[in-house]
A and B are shown apart, each in its own frame.
Chain A
């Protein structure tokens, strides 16, 4: 079969809602788009461990400490599922790591913001994980088998993160005046970056159309962002927390909460590497990787020695 025929068969398969598995023929572009998407997601989980890891040693109760460590661990686990899914497309983990550490690969912008108070732990769980869930629920039905299966696993675990976050936010919102102030300040800092997590608006998103046609993505950035806002506003209202957007208002006709214009300048600056923590995040990952080289080598050397012993 020549490529044009294969491509048509592939597109038909997707149109029928069938799942593509690693050994199936796929166009190079599909393969590359998936590698880019999956690895970006994996890198985000990895880097995402850092802003939250920042508060593990200062968690204010044993229950919160344990929950936070478990959450950060889950993120490591999610990174692992996703790297493994990416590897089924023919790329090595070491190559993916190199892309991240060299600054070539992107990861979710939100993790380039600093965590400045305990309240950020709640707000990140509520807003950032909340936004991720809106995105991920859609991806669980992705056309690529290994990605979709990884996402199903991840979605199951993600729910605990969001609940944990919202519980922290509620505790603070209903606490002392200082705690209320702490959590309101946190919301003021994280609201807009959370909205930015859904990426550029559809007209500025070069990859969207293709990804939609191949059922890797099933909804547009704009649709997802609106869905997130609609879910979240009532949750904020339930706690008497304000969102830092004077243009936020309910459109009675559509049921949508309309919101103000996102600061795309800030968005682009952070993507370009000028966010508050970009350099620190990358340095932490680089250091961990470099300082881990001797450990990885030792384990390999041991394994080889054992193999020689067994063979003898």
Chain B
């Protein structure tokens, strides 16, 4: 049985981050914003997924979804930590997570939509995983070595997530009439939020030029092809082209994010001097 001392002994130290390369002010500002985007996408989505804990439709799926949630929040931790170092104002990943206001979050709207039922969760996850895997695949060859390394690591988990969500899209689409209807409705509702990730603005355009970060608009065609193929295999209709909602990348979110953040941030904000 462990003594108090044994229980409190420090864990192995995390790997010390390497020195950052020198960036021009313009690149530094853009890179900070970009890293927030990568981190926030996963933080918010991971948070939504974690709402399933204890409420999953099957115990095995509860565990599986929990795994994905853990991975995503772990990715967020890494991207936000790097963002903080790039910004250079001593904000670590917790500071960025718990003390930024809604207008400073840079996730796509797709991430912040409510948890929904299992069909909605799987459909949203599949759309995100398809994008994430493509993005990380390209990002691992960017010219910022630390970010490239992070992308390579993240890609492994993204690949597994995609396998999981794709398999469930197949089972729900080509399962019963009820499951088919539910997951079709989910894709129909989500479609208008699926385009935001592929819009390139001045941030990505500058970083594509300076650091070889992938231009997200270049990913769209492949994404459409892969997603359509899987939906068809699942006997689902690919929703028609429609107006795509944007704004998340500029901190203009849906009304859902504010409430999510109010819940997520309440404890540290209530005790601003405390450490946890």
Q: List chain A positions with a Cβ less than 8 A from chain B.
A: 46, 49-50, 53, 56-66, 69-70, 72-73, 76-77, 79-80, 83, 118, 133, 159, 162-163, 166-168, 170-171, 175-176, 178-179, 231, 234-235, 238-239, 284, 287-288, 291-299, 301-302, 305
A301 touching B176 by the CB < 8 A rule? yes
If A66-B74, A288-B56 touch, whether A57 touches B117 (CB-CB below 8 Å) is: no
CB-CB < 8 A to A239: which residues of B?
4
Interface 9-mer from B63-71, B142-150, B184-192, B222-230 = B63-71
Q: A73-B70, A162-B2 are in contact. Are A62 and B63 (CB under 8 A)?
A: no
Q: List 7 A-B contacts (CB under 8 A).
A: A53-B54, A62-B77, A235-B4, A294-B176, A294-B182, A297-B179, A298-B172
Is B12 interfacial (CB 8 A cutoff)?
no
**B8, B117, B175 pick with most chain A CB within 10 angstroms:** B175
Interface contact A302-B268, CB-CB below 8 Å: no
Is A296 touching B57 in the complex (CB atoms < 8 A)?
A: yes
Of A167, A231, A293, A301, which contacts B175 at CB under 8 A?
A: A301
Q: Which residue of B lies closest to A228 (CB)?
A: B1
Question: Which of B22-30, B93-101, B106-114, B211-219 lies at the interface with chain A?
Answer: B93-101
Q: Given A61-B98, A69-B70, A288-B56, 14 more contacts at CB 8 Å? A: A53-B54, A57-B47, A57-B264, A61-B276, A66-B74, A163-B7, A166-B7, A179-B271, A292-B61, A296-B57, A298-B171, A298-B176, A301-B175, A302-B174
A54 — nearest CB in chain B belongs to which residue? Answer: B54
A234 touches B4 (CB 8 A): yes
The residues of B that contact A50 with a CB separation of less than 8 Å are 54
Given contacts A61-B268, A62-B97, A298-B171, is CB(A79)–CB(B55) below 8 Å? no
Shortest beta-carbon distance, B241 to chain A, in Å?
28
Is the pair A176, B276 in contact by a Cβ cutoff of 8 Å? Answer: no
**Cβ–Cβ contact A297 & B176, under 8 A:** yes
C-alpha gap A287/B7 in the complex (Å): 37
Minimum distance in angstroms from A282 CB to a CB of chain B: 13
Taking a contact as CB atoms closer than 8 A, the residue among B3, B51, B74, B274 that contacts A178 in the complex is: B274
**Which listed residue (B50, B56, B59) contacts A57, Cβ 8 A?**
B50
Check A178–B271 contact: CB distance below 8 A. yes
Q: What residues of A have a CB within 8 angstroms of the CB of B274 in the complex?
A: 60, 175-176, 178-179
> How many CB-defined contacts (below 8 Å) exist between A and B?
156
Scan residues 241-276 of chain B and give those whose CB is less than 8 A from a CB of chain A: 263-264, 266-268, 271, 273-276
Q: Is B198 an interface residue (CB 8 A)?
A: no
Task: List 6 tightest A-B contacts by C-beta distance, closest first.
Answer: A292-B57, A298-B175, A298-B179, A49-B54, A53-B54, A60-B267
Contacts of A175 in B (CB 8 A): 274-275
**Bound state CA distance, A61 and B4, in angstroms?**
23
Bound-state CA distance A293–B56 (Å) is: 11
Contact between A46 and B59, CB atoms less than 8 A apart:
yes
State which of B50, B60, B178, B266 has its C-beta within 8 Å of the C-beta of A80.
B60
**Closest Cβ of chain A: how far from B189's Cβ, in Å?**
18
For B180, give the chain A residue with the smallest CB separation.
A298
B66 near A295: Cβ-Cβ < 8 Å: no
B231 contacts the other chain (CB 8 A): no
Chain A residue numbers with a CB within 8 Å of B67 are 73
B104 close to chain A: CB less than 8 A = no
Contacts of B50 in A (CB 8 A): 56-57, 65, 69
| Alpha-carbon gap, A69 to B50, bound state (A) | 7
Smallest Cβ distance from A125 to chain B, in angstroms? 10
Q: Given A72-B53, A170-B8, A297-B179, answer yes or no on A305-B59 (Cβ-Cβ < 8 Å).
A: no
Any A CB within 8 A of the CB of B170: yes
Query: Would you call B267 and A66 a contact (CB within 8 A)?
Result: no
Q: Which residue of B lies closest to A305 (CB)?
A: B174
Question: How long is the Cα–Cα vector from A50 to B179 in the complex, in angstroms?
Answer: 27
**Distance in Å: Cβ of B111 to nearest Cβ of chain A:** 15
**For chain B residues 1-42, which have a beta carbon within 8 Å of chain A?**
1-4, 7-8
B136 contacts A by Cβ under 8 Å? no
**In the bound complex, do residue A66 and residue B273 qualify as a contact, i.e. CB atoms below 8 Å apart?**
no
Cβ of A301 to closest chain B Cβ, rounded Å: 5
Residue B58 is within 8 A (CB to CB) of chain A in the complex: yes
Cα A292 to Cα B182 with chains together (Å): 13
Q: Is A171 touching B53 in the complex (CB atoms < 8 A)?
A: no
Residue of A nearest to B174 (CB): A302
Known contacts: A80-B60, A176-B273. The answer to whether A73 contacts B66 by CB under 8 A is yes
Knowing A292-B118, A298-B176 touch, does A287 contact B53 (C-beta < 8 A)? no
- List A contacts of B4 (CB < 8 A): 166, 170, 234-235, 238-239
Q: Which residues of B contact A294 (CB under 8 A)?
A: 176, 178-179, 182
Q: Are B275 and A296 in contact (CB under 8 A)?
A: no
Given contacts A66-B74, A80-B60, contact A287 B268 (CB under 8 A): no
